[in-house]
Structure 1
Amino acid sequence: MFKKSLVIMARALLAAWLVSSISACAKKTPASSTSTESAATATATSSMAAVPAKMTPSDLWKLMGKKLTYIQEGHHGPVVYDFTDTNCPFCHLIYVVEARLIREGKLTVRYVPVAIIKPSSMPEAAAILQADNPVAALQKAEDAIDKGMKTGKPAKLARATDAIGKASPKTIEAIKKIEANNVFLQEVDIDELPDIIYLPKKGKLGLITGLISEKKLTELLPQMQ
């Protein structure tokens, strides 16, 4: 559970964002299906918010780093937080865009697993997070999702047991961390996926919601820390 100070400051910060959620994946309430509209028609916007007087963007950024559980890919370029659900097709499309920039050493992504779309989201996210190599597990899951989207067949992802009384301590710990990530989205009133949060070199924190092209994301990189 997040400390009260983080929740209050984060809510005050992010509630002011005016977000255009075009081509976003889902509301927080779990749904039985997700949209699969073409990425070619998708757009995304980034917007900034005022920071409470007693907390700078850098302060909140540091608190996010301490409180959120994430899987980091890349070690060069600006750092962004990407909130992702295995059942969000648009999250996968963002992953593909980011992967190219990560390979080129232009971007570092901290993937924050959440489970808000389908009942299978939690056991799938837990399986990734509790893996001996979460980065490899995430990549394997994304490869399976990519294949499923291309063939039109549901991706078969590894799932951890999330039944009460049957889950292992390792799985229970993973589920608690994912639930805490879910709480963060609820507390700051972000209700669509995918979402990318970044720290600009100047000014306020930035939020990108919905799809963004590689060209647009690349253009934003010089503005990010």
Structure 2
Amino acid sequence: MTLPWARAARSWALAATVVAAGMLVLPCAQAQDRTSPFRAADTPADRAMTETVWGLLQNSRWLANGADKAPRTVYVFTDPNCPYCNKFWSDARPWVDAGKVQLRHVIVGILTPTSPGKAAALLTSKNPAATLADYERGQVAATAKALASGRPHPLGDEGIQPLATIPPAIQAQLDANEQIMAALALRATPAVVWRDARGGLQMRTGVPEQTLAAIMGPR
């Protein structure tokens, strides 16, 4: 079993590799709600970069939602206070429930002052993946109402109470996840990373409903 601090150190090292390779090319205006300019994995350099980033994500602290044998894996940087993360979780149900996609939630705590404590509470629960699923499910109705009103707000604490003190090992995991997010120039949640039908790496922040099929593939 990989120790938490070793896993975090490996993620930081991979993130440094990505930064050194010059991947920090997206200005903020491009990164927000836009698809990244990654090409399909056509050349050896493209394929090497894709595998480096994919390895970075595989070694991050993520929570699975969906079947392990699902034909498509989608990584999503998720803040437990993010209403748009909750909407994405809800919108993804048809693909996840059908066994077509496994979401891997890379947990970060960046949105509000209680986000780190809630992220830590989630990661220290007895079954973090189940806790996340229950929490997201319980917030869907309130989030839909808030978004429809045009007044989005952070998710409530029902289901996850923020920790006052974050254990060092958990803080290291959260720091490593945030480092990966920064290395990939992803500046908002949900930030989604996936491989397209050609194996090319794709990324975007924000998930409008019209892009779901491109990210998730066939239902």
**What TM-score results when the alignment is normalised by the length of structure 2?**
0.74
Structure 1 counterpart of 2:35, which letter?
T
Structure 2: how far apart are the matches of 1:47 and 1:96?
27
- Paired residues for 1:1-225 under 5 Å: 1-3=8-10, 5-11=13-19, 12=21, 14-17=23-26, 19-22=30-33, 45=35, 47-48=37-38, 53=45, 55-66=48-59, 68-75=60-67, 76-150=70-144, 155-157=156-158, 158-163=160-165, 171-202=167-198, 204-213=200-209, 216-222=211-217
3-state secondary structure, aligned to 1:79 = strand
**Higher normalized helix content (fraction of residues):** 2
Aligned-CA RMSD value: 2.9
3-state secondary structure, aligned to 2:207 = coil
Structure 2: how far apart are the matches of 1:20 and 1:116?
17
Structure 2: how far apart are the matches of 1:151 and 1:50?
38
Q: CA, structure 1 residues 180+220, in 2 after alignment: closer, same or farther (shift >3 Å)?
A: closer
Structure 2: how far apart are the matches of 1:161 and 1:103?
31
Structure 2 residue runs without a partner (length 5+):
1-7, 147-152
Shift of 1:10: 2.1
Q: CA, structure 1 residues 14+92, in 2 after alignment: closer, same or farther (shift >3 Å)?
A: farther
Equivalent residues of 1:194, 1:210 under 8 A apart: yes
Runs (4+) of structure 1 exceeding 6 A deviation are: none
Structure 1 residue runs without a partner (length 5+):
23-43
What is the aligned length? Answer: 194
Equivalent residues of 1:47, 1:208 under 8 A apart: no
3-state secondary structure, aligned to 2:99 = coil
Point out the more displaced range, 86-95 or 11-20: 11-20
Shift of 1:72: 0.5
